[in-house]
Amino acid sequence: MTIVFTGGTAFVGNGEIIDKATVIIEGKQIKKVTKADTDLPQDATIIDLEGKMLLPGFIDCHLHILIDGSPDPMASAVNVNSHLLTLLAAVHAKNTLMAGVTTIRDMGGIGSAEYALRDAIHRGIIQGPRMLVSGQQICMTGGQGWEFGREADGADEVRKAAREQIKAGCDIVKLMATGGIMTPGVDPGAAQLTEEELRAGVEEAHRANRKCASHAQGTEGILNSLRAGIDSIEHGFYLTEECVALMVKNRVPLIPTLAFGDMIEKAADLGVPAYILEKSRLVTKSTLESLAMAKEADILIGMGADCGTPLLPHGTNLLELVCLVENGFTTEEALIIGTLNGAKILGLDHQLGSIEEGKIADLIVVEGNPLNDIGLLTNPENISLVLTSGSVIKNLME
């Protein structure tokens, strides 16, 4: 099947914007991208983009597909049996895709449901974004995320835990270097897994050609992760000049998670546990200061909406881009963060993240121009068309 987009604006994703673009899709791939009128293939499906924008599908580098974004999602997940949890996650995945997010990285699963969901989407059994999964997050005993994590103490146990995730089929290994917001009784700034433990996990991931990400909010845990050879810093609430220098030297990207912090004052009356609110308020200022430091140092930044956490149901992912714009990024920079930067962080930029010839046709159409109003993206009704691998999954334009 051949699809032709014509007559509107294409946001390529690499910094280029094409007015009155023509983009030809053949099968799963982008066949041609041009600024000029061109002879159109016979029997092609023509999609008029006048008044609309064509963009690469968005990439969310950090979310939790198995928790629901309710005020207390961890408690909700504990009280749901594994079969229902998987069915609910399928709904989460479809909502994410309909919102224009075509690739996600699940950063902490429950049991093995995330593998079943990923594989069902890949086989076309259900609709959802392309998924990379980390399996169980690896934490110290009683550490951040222990409720659903794989607890491990000492380098040998962490090494075994990483091997277990790889055996189960993970795409990325996730290590918990610090405390965090969602687990009661732990401090987001406190280091947890040691540098030696982190290095063992990183080595096993790299041995199996997997990337390794670190939940790292406090400074000591960030530095431990960087010295251990980590591939990405998740959250990064308490960056210092030393952290930033190491990230620049080692080319380590940052996935900040801003959206929940943007909603804290609304959350108090909605049933979010007090300990979550208290810790979130404590890290808000440092989070924004760290983001500014990373931007100034030109660190590669990816979009991580952390959907599934309190008041961030799946499908609200693109609120994260609004938060980036509200905190010093241009709309163009935010859109690149949500597309090509994400593909680079996932190691998929040769296939995804921009509208370029030869890449996979994961594309969306937006009503209006998000460069003028990025808030358009937060309403799924404004995402009028979604393609994954060249197949039309959503079409409100008919």
User: pLDDT of 229-275, one tens digit each?
Assistant: 999 999 999 999 999 999 999 999 999 999 988 777 677 778 899 99
What's the CA gap between 211 and 119, in Å, rounded? Answer: 19
**Who's near 175: CB < 8 A, 6+ residues apart?**
137, 138, 158, 193, 197, 198, 201, 202, 212, 213, 214, 215, 225, 230
Give the H or E element holding residue 267. Answer: helix 264-267
**Who's near 355: CB < 8 A, 6+ residues apart?**
10, 11, 12, 13, 23, 30, 33, 54, 55, 56, 363
Of the options 2.60.40.10, 3.40.190.10, 3.40.640.10, 3.20.20.140, the CATH number for the domain spanning 58-317:
3.20.20.140
How many other CB atoms are there within 10 angstroms of residue 261's CB atom?
21
The CATH 3.20.20.140 domain(s) of the chain lie at: 58-317
Question: What's the topology of domain 2-56+351-395?
Answer: Urease, subunit C; domain 1 (2.30.40)
What's the CA gap between 149 and 70, in Å, rounded? Answer: 20
Q: Residue 248: is it exposed, middle or buried by C-beta count within 10 angstroms (0-12/13-18/19+)?
A: middle
**Spatial contact of 89 and 113, defined as CB atoms under 8 Å apart:** yes
The CATH 2.30.40.10 domain(s) of the chain lie at: 2-56+351-395
Among 223, 263, 224, 218, which Cα is nearest to 243's? 223
**Spatial contact of 132 and 107, defined as CB atoms under 8 Å apart:** no
Over its length of 398 residues, how does the chain's per-residue pLDDT go in tens digits? Answer: 899 999 999 999 998 999 999 999 999 999 999 987 777 788 889 999 999 999 999 999 999 999 999 999 988 888 888 889 999 999 999 999 999 999 999 999 998 899 999 999 999 999 999 999 999 999 999 999 999 999 999 999 999 999 999 999 999 999 999 999 999 999 999 999 999 999 999 999 999 999 999 999 999 999 999 999 999 999 999 999 999 999 999 999 999 999 988 777 677 778 899 999 999 999 999 999 999 999 999 999 999 999 999 999 999 999 999 999 999 999 999 999 999 999 999 999 999 999 999 999 999 999 999 999 999 999 999 999 999 999 999 999 87
Among 50, 16, 58, 52, which Cα is nearest to 35's? 16
**Spatial contact of 103 and 348, defined as CB atoms under 8 Å apart:** yes
Beta-sheet pairing, 2-11 with 45-48: parallel
- Report helix, strand or coil for 265: helix
Backbone φ/ψ region at 127: left (φ over 0), alpha (ψ -120 to 50), beta: beta
